[in-house]
């Protein structure tokens, strides 16, 4: 059973329950979460309030929350050790976000790269929540006195803003919030899209050729790698100036844990077709047991609901303590 008060440093991270999960999410985020469970007390959030900053269908949002929880567990997050919970069910997230809203400058939010990207993508729905997204993320992190935030590179700007807001509140009101640290997994912090290696692999991409979804069938995975964009070179070496090839090798390395030297040696004398086939093989091999566990979990719905209920209860209790501290420091209530 989970220890209610651990002396281990805390980790908090989250993913939006939107669309499909892909190997970029797995390698950039979830894989390192799994490893961190030994040394840290971990909180893994399903950030559904973030998801509604772009339009969602209520039925699929509800189902996607369950699917994401099942993927967390199937990938190796152990609900007996770590807390898995749904953001919207812990009211403190929205409450702290409101307070932080009074400390953040609109100009700081307008500078965020993700806001600029998303408001370009969703021109007819540039809602205030889209702009405010990083403040809610700061609340997610700061509510749990988080020490470390493991995310992919695209989220580092948001974690930096979180630290700025915590320091700002502390300067005005005393030492109230813990200032967290960002943890990037450098090598896999930005897995590129298969159909355009200059872009990041993304679940909101218009073409499914962009990504390998965690629940893609073996045949689909083979086909997607076969069609992956590379260059006209011949040698198979880790060269960041050849982004398509580099991405395939990075994926191979992440799934095999072999050294770059060993991998280059392994592929010496081979062409891109052989490389693509091999990358597909190691990815299929790694995803197979995850997919089996995922489907088994989706067949045991009540167990999944129980895990989310217990996680939410635990998260809520901790969030309340921080929030009371913030209320007191600000003179609220």
* Chain contacts with ligand AMP (rule: CB under 6 A): 15-16, 24-25, 28-29, 151-152, 154-155, 188-191, 200-201, 203
Catalytic, out of 31, 118, 224, 253: 118
Name the minimum Å distance from CB 65 to ligand AMP. 13
Question: What SS3 class is residue 68?
Answer: helix
**Residue 253 annotated as catalytic:** no
Total Cβ atoms within 10 A of residue 285: 12
In this structure, are residues 11 and 145 in contact, taking their beta carbons and an 8 Å threshold? no
Residue 12: contacted member of ligand TRP, ligand AMP, none (CB under 5 to 8 Å, by partner type): ligand TRP
Consult the annotation and say whether 17 binds a ligand.
yes
Total Cβ atoms within 10 A of residue 123: 7
Question: What SS3 class is residue 241?
Answer: coil
Strands (E), 64-159: 83-86, 148-151
Name the minimum Å distance from CB 14 to ligand TRP. 4
Consult the annotation and say whether 99 binds a ligand.
no
**Residue 199 annotated as catalytic:** no
Q: 31-50 mask for ligand TRP (x: CB under 6 A)?
A: ----------------x--x
CB nearer to ligand AMP: pick between 28 and 243? 28
Catalytic, out of 200, 224, 253, 276: 200
CB nearer to ligand AMP: pick between 29 and 279? 29
Total Cβ atoms within 10 A of residue 305: 12
Consult the annotation and say whether 203 binds a ligand.
yes
Alpha carbons 95 and 56: distance in angstroms, whole number: 23
- What one-character DSSP code corresponds to residue 85? E
In this structure, are residues 73 and 79 in contact, taking their beta carbons and an 8 Å threshold? yes
In this structure, are residues 130 and 122 in contact, taking their beta carbons and an 8 Å threshold? yes
Residue positions in the annotated binding site? Answer: 16-18, 24-25, 140, 152-154, 191, 200-204
* Site of interaction with ligand TRP (CB under 6 A): 12-16, 47, 50, 137, 140-141, 149, 151, 155, 158
Binding residue ranges for L-tryptophan: 140
């Amino acid at each position: 059973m989970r220890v209610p008060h651990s002396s281990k440093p805390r980790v908090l991270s989250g993913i939006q329950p939107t669309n499909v999960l892909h190997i970029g999410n797995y390698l950039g985020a979830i894989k390192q979460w799994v490893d961190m469970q030994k040394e840290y007390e971990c909180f893994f959030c399903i950030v559904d309030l973030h998801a509604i900053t772009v339009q969602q269908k209520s039925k699929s949002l509800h189902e996607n929350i369950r699917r994401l929880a099942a993927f967390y567990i199937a990938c190796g997050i152990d609900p007996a050790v770590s807390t898995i919970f749904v953001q919207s069910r812990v009211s403190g997230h929205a409450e702290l976000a409101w307070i932080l809203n009074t400390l953040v400058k609109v100009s700081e939010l307008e500078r965020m790269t993700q806001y600029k990207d998303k408001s370009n993508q969703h021109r007819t729905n540039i809602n205030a929540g889209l702009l405010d997204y990083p403040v809610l993320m700061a609340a997610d992190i700061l509510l749990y006195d988080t020490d470390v935030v493991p995310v992919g590179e695209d989220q580092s700007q948001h974690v930096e803003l979180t630290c700025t807001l915590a320091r700002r509140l502390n300067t005005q009101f005393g030492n109230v919030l813990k200032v967290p640290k960002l943890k990037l997994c450098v090598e896999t912090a930005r897995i590129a899209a298969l159909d355009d290696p200059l872009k990041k692999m993304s679940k909101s991409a218009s073409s499914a050729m962009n990504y390998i979804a965690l629940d893609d069938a073996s045949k689909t995975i083979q086909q997607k790698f076969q069609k992956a964009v590379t260059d006209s070179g011949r040698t198979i070496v880790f060269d960041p100036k050849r982004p398509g090839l580099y991405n395939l090798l990075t994926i191979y390395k992440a799934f095999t844990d072999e050294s770059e030297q060993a991998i280059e040696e392994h592929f010496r004398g081979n062409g891109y077709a052989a490389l693509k086939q091999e990358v597909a093989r190691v990815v299929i091999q790694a995803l197979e047991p995850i997919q089996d566990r995922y489907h088994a979990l989706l067949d045991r719905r009540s167990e999944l609901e129980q895990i989310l209920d217990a996680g939410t209860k635990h998260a809520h209790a901790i969030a309340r303590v921080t929030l009371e501290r913030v209320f007191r420091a600000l003179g609220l209530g």
